[in-house]
Amino acid sequence: MTLRRLSATSFRNLQAVDIELSPQLNIIYGDNGSGKTSLLESISILSLGRSFRSRKYKHMIQHEAEDYTVFGQVECGGTAIPVGINRHRNGQAVIKMGGKNCSSAAQLAETLPIRIMNGHSFQLLEGGPVERRKYIDWLVFHVEHEFYQAWRSYEKCLKQRNSLLRRDKIDPLLMAPWDREIALLANRLDHFRHSSFRLLETVFKQLISEFEGLKGVRLSYYRGWDKDTDYSDLLLQHLDRDRELGYTRQGPHRADIRVLVEKQPAVELLSRGQQKIVVSALLIAQGMVFYETRKRGCLYLIDDLPAELDARFRSQLAEWLSRMETQIFVTGVEKNILLDAWRTAGKLPDSHRVFHVKHGAIQQEGAEINTVPL
C-alpha cells in the first residue's frame, strides 16, 4: 500500500501542488516555515480524515479561499484507489474513495495506514495513559478486524452506564443488562489488546536489545482493572463508589502500556537521548508487527528527523525502516543530512525522490516545479 500521487489546493501555506511520489523513500527539505510539515499534514488528512497537528480546520484553509482540497492516489496490489477530501470553511466536508462517498474515518485508516514520528511522539513516555491507549489501539485496529466494532459498542455501553450512575436512584434491573453487556465487551477488548501487546512486546525487546544501557527497558500491559478480578464482579463490588463518582472508574477505558526500567517509569530514569531511542523503537515495532501480520507496510511520516536524533541513530532508524516494505516521508532543513542516514546504513533505494520546499512551492530535484491548477 503506497501513496503514488499527492495533490493539494488552498491548504496551509502550500502553493497548488501535484507530485508523483516514490513508493519507498521521499526526502523533503527546506527552511523552517517553508511548508514541509504542511506537506506531511496533507498526507495525514488522507489517512485520518483530519490533521495530526490540529482539529481547527479553518486554520488549514488559506485566507483567500473558502475550502481546501487534498487528493491522493493510493496503489494497492497494482490497483489505483483515488482518495480525496474537501473541507469548507463552514465545516462541511466531502470525503471520497474510489469515486464514492466515504463517511468512515476507519475506512480511510484501513486504506492508508500511517505512523507519525515528531516531537509530539515523546508523549508516549511523558503523557498520560490516553496517549498509550491510542498507541496500542492503532495496532489492534489493524490486526484484529473485530476490535473496532467491539470498541464502539463498549463506548456506547459505558456512556449509558455512566448516565445511569448519575441518577439519584438506580433500578438494579435497569443497570443489570448494561453491566452484562459491558463486561462481555470489556473482556473482548482486553483479549484483542493483550494478543497484540504480546506481538509488540517481542519485537520491541528485539529492537531495544541492540543498544547498550537499554536492555533493562521493558513494556507492561495494564488492562484497566486488576488482572485477578472478574470484571462483572468488579462492577458489582464498586457500584456504590462508581455512583458517588458518577462514572465507571475501572475498565478497558483505563488501559495503559507502561514503559518501565525494572519497576519504575522509564521517563524518570532515561536520558533524553535514550528516550528518543525508546520512542522510536516503540513506533518502529508497531510497523514491524503490522508488516508481519498484514503482509503490507504502513506509511511513516517523520518530521524534522535531525532535530530529534543524532547521526548514528538516524542511520539505525533507516536500517530499521528498511526491514519493512514501507513508504517513508522524512523532512529536515538539509537534504544531505537526511540522505546520509540511508547512505550510512547502506539502504538508500534507487527509487528515492528528493523534494525541495521553498515558500510553499514543491520542486522535485531533477524535475520541473509541479505547481499546477487541480
H helices of the chain, where?
Answer: 36-48, 105-111, 123-126, 129-143, 147-165, 172-208, 231-237, 239-245, 272-294, 305-308, 311-322, 335-344
CATH 3.40.50.300 boundaries in the chain: 1-113+297-374
Rounded to the nearest 10 degrees, what angle do helices 272-294 and 311-322 cross at?
10
Regarding the domain with residue range 1-113+297-374, which homologous superfamily does it belong to in the CATH classification?
A: P-loop containing nucleotide triphosphate hydrolases (3.40.50.300)
Quick one: which of 337, 373, 329 has its CA closest to 355? Answer: 329
pTM reported for the whole predicted model: 0.92
CATH 1.20.1050.90 boundaries in the chain: 122-295
Q: Which CATH architecture has domain 122-295?
A: Up-down Bundle (1.20)
Tens place of pLDDT for every residue, the chain, 374 residues?
899 999 999 999 999 989 999 999 999 999 999 999 999 999 999 999 888 888 788 889 999 899 999 999 999 878 899 999 999 999 899 999 998 998 788 889 999 999 999 989 999 999 999 999 999 999 999 999 999 999 999 999 999 999 999 987 777 788 889 999 999 999 999 999 999 999 999 999 999 998 988 989 999 999 999 999 999 999 999 998 999 999 999 999 999 999 999 889 999 999 988 999 999 999 999 999 999 999 888 999 999 988 878 899 999 999 999 999 899 999 999 999 999 999 999 999 999 999 999 999 999 987 544 443 33
Asked if residue 98 lies in contact with residue 82, where contact means CB atoms within 8 angstroms, the answer is yes
